[in-house]
Each structure stands twice: as structure tokens, then as C-alpha cells.
């Protein structure tokens, strides 16, 4: 354990990859290590890139990261949670090949998270992956996730700046899916802006922002991009930097991070408590209660109270 801690402090990427896998598998050692290295977190700036499938999130991320590398020579981590992302092995072969030059860059660390098979949940696993990349000294961390379900929204909520990528002409169904995610956008990127319908989409977003009853100090800018032809990427990066500056100057970055920490603590609490109930020794008791409820001997609320008593006593 001392070895891996030293390796992580030295910025070893292979040690980071191993630790993320351990955290994904819910291994206790991973959390012991993170606990010990907690002082080394909090330095990276986290950017969430979300949007519907087919909006070109990965290409946009790819271009943003290349711009950061070229202009500022900062270290960048990418966590791809989108199942259709070329980073995670989805999408078409051409995309995946295009991304390979990024993965050859020494100052870039790419980690894809499967959307299944995480003991303890995807949003938790992503959260720890961010911490690990933070520890090994990444300056910027991008989280790319498809904005469809609650768990994806939860993931992107932990970002400092969230970019919502939209494209003209995706139809109303897609709009309905991502309804819940509109509120968390700090910046809108209207991608594939060379397509028809761009101005209408921009107008729709503007209207929606004007309808927002809350008088917030930050009005999300709308940036037109065409990631494939590298248009608007500089402007989008500038918008991200402006938002970062705004958060720092208004102290909202601190507020946001403290609120995220509170959510994180509650998640750990929830999980520890649930692990108390789902312990093997309680398995039979749980099963028996469920059978009793099935046979209407007791109701589920009373059954739940029985389990709570076990936890409190344990």
C-alpha cells in the first residue's frame, strides 16, 4: 500500500489505473488509499461534457483537450462514461482511431467507465476516478457522459463547469429525455452548427433561459461549434475559462464544492448503512421478512422497521 501511495504521489498513471479498478470493484483497500491521499485532492478543475447520443460530445472533448495541451501545456484527464463514446469503445471505428493520438500524449490520461457492473454505482465509481486523477496531478479533468438518466445527471453534477452539447434537428423525443439536464448547464454548445436549424435551436435555448424564474448571477452562454472542422473550439474553451474565473471570484466554486462534498458524504453513509443490512448474517432475516410480507403476515413498513432496529443495535 505504501508503494502505490508513493507511485500516485509521483503521478504514476499505471498506479492510477489500478486504483480506479479497485474502486470500481468496491475493494476496501482503494478507499483506505484515497483516505490517506485526500490532502492531495482539490487541485484539478473538473469539466462535465454531456448531451444526447450523437451530439458529438467525444469529438468536442477531443478537440478541447488538444487545444488545452497545445496552448497551455496543462495535464488533462478524461473520464468517458458515455456508452456510445469512442473513448469507451463505442461509436464507429473511424472515431476511435481519431482519438488514438490523444492517448499517445504523455500529458493525457484517458479512462473509460463501463456503464454496467459497478458495485456501488456508476456515479460513485466516477467520483473516485476523478479523485484519483486529481491526486496524480491532472490540471483539468473532463467527464464525458450521455445525458439520459438520473445517474448520468448525478455524475455531471459533481463537475465545476458543465457543458451541455446539443445539435439541431434531433427531434422532440430526445428533447424530452434530456429535460432534467437543462438546468445544470453552465454553458450550451450547439454543435454541428454547420447544419440547418442551428439558429432556431439557439433561439429556443435563449427563450428557455429567459423563462428561468431564478435570478442567477451567471447566464449560460451559447457557443456554436463544429467539432469535426474544429470551429468554435477556442470560443468554447474561452467560455469555460470565463465560467471558472466567475466561480472563483464570486466564491461560488467553494459553495459548489462544499455542497458536492455534502452529497458525497451522504452517499458514503447510505452505502455503509446498506452494507450493514446486506451483510451475509442478515440475509436469512431479510428473506424471511420478505416472505412474511408476501404472505401478508406483516406489511413492508413494519418489516423495514425490523431491519432498522438491527442496524441500530449492530
Q: Which residues bind its own copies (CB under 8 A)?
A: 31, 34-35, 38-39, 42, 52-54, 83-84, 90, 115-116, 146, 148-152, 172-174, 176-177, 179-180, 254, 257-259, 261-262, 264-266, 268-270, 272-274, 277-278, 286-287, 289-291, 293-294, 296, 299-305, 307-308, 311-312
State the nearest-atom distance from the C-beta of 107 to its own copies, in Å.
Answer: 26
SS3 41: coil
Kindly provide the b/e burial profile for residues 20-39, where b requires at least 16 CB atoms within 10 angstroms of the residue's own CB: bebbbebeeebeebbeebee
Shortest gap between Cβ of 231 and its own copies (angstroms)?
23
Looking at the Cβ atoms of 11 and 53, the one nearer to its own copies is: 53
Look-up: residue for cell 486529481?
Answer: 134
Q: In terms of CB distance, is 49 or 233 closer to its own copies?
A: 49
Nearer to its own copies by Cβ, of 35 and 70: the residue is: 35
Give every CB contact of residue 106 below 8 A, 6+ residues apart in sequence. Answer: none
Cell of 17: 489505473
CB of 128 within 8 A of CB of 81? no
The least CB distance from residue 249 to its own copies, in Å, is 18
Q: State whether residue 230 is helix, strand or coil.
A: coil
Fill in the DSSP letter of residue 53: T
CB of 151 to its own copies, least distance (A): 5
Of 42 and 199, which has the nearer Cβ to its own copies?
A: 42
Q: How far apart are CA 133 and CA 47, in angstroms?
A: 13
Name which of 179, 121, 131 is nearest 30 in CA terms: 131
Instruction: Compute the least distance from the CB of residue 73 to its own copies, in Å.
Output: 27
Output 60 or 146, the one with its CB closest to its own copies: 146
> Nearest distance from residue 261's CB to its own copies, in Å?
4
Q: Are 86 and 96 in contact (CB under 8 A)?
A: yes
Instruction: Decide whether 84 or 161 has the Cβ nearer to its own copies.
Output: 84
Q: Quick one: 105 or 264, whose CB is closer to its own copies?
A: 264
Nine-digit cell string for 2: 505504501
Judge contact between 182 and 231, C-beta under 8 A.
no
Beta bridge partners, 142, equal 47, 78
Amino acid at each position: 500500500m505504501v508503494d502505490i501511495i508513493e507511485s500516485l504521489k509521483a503521478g504514476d498513471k499505471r498506479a492510477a489505473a489500478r486504483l480506479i479498478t479497485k474502486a470500481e470493484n468496491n475493494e476496501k483497500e482503494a478507499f483506505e488509499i484515497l483516505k490517506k491521499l485526500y490532502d492531495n485532492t482539490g487541485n484539478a478543475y473538473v469539466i462535465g461534457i454531456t448531451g444526447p447520443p450523437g451530439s458529438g460530445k467525444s469529438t468536442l472533448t477531443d478537440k478541447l483537450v488538444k487545444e488545452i495541451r497545445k496552448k497551455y501545456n496543462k495535464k488533462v484527464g478524461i473520464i468517458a462514461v458515455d456508452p456510445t463514446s469512442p473513448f469507451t469503445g463505442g461509436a464507429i471505428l473511424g472515431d476511435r482511431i481519431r482519438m488514438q493520438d490523444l492517448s499517445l500524449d504523455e500529458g493525457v490520461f484517458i479512462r473509460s467507465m463501463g456503464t454496467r457492473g459497478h458495485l456501488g454505482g456508476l456515479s460513485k465509481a466516477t467520483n473516485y476516478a476523478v479523485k484519483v486523477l486529481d491526486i496524480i496531478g491532472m490540471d483539468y479533468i473532463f467527464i464525458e457522459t450521455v445525458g439520459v438518466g438520473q445517474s448520468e445527471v448525478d455524475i455531471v453534477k459533481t463537475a465545476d463547469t458543465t457543458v451541455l452539447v446539443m445539435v439541431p434537428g434531433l427531434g422532440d423525443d430526445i428533447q424530452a429525455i434530456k429535460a432534467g439536464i437543462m438546468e445544470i448547464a453552465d454553458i450550451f454548445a450547439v454543435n454541428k452548427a454547420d447544419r440547418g436549424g442551428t439558429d432556431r435551436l439557439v433561439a429556443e435555448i435563449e427563450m428557455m433561459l429567459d423563462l428561468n424564474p431564478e435570478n442567477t448571477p451567471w447566464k449560460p452562454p451559447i457557443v456554436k461549434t463544429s467539432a469535426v472542422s474544429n470551429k468554435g473550439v477556442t470560443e468554447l474553451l474561452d467560455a469555460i475559462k470565463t465560467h471558472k474565473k466567475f466561480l472563483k471570484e464570486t466564491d461560488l466554486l467553494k459553495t459548489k464544492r462544499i455542497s458536492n462534498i455534502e452529497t458525497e458524504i451522504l452517499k458514503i453513509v447510505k452505502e455503509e448503512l446498506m452494507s450493514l443490512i446486506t451483510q451475509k448474517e442478515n440475509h436469512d432475516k431479510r428473506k424471511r421478512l420478505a416472505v412474511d410480507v408476501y404472505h401478508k403476515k406483516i406489511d413492508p413498513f413494519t418489516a423495514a422497521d425490523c431491519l432498522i432496529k438491527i442496524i441500530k443495535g449492530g
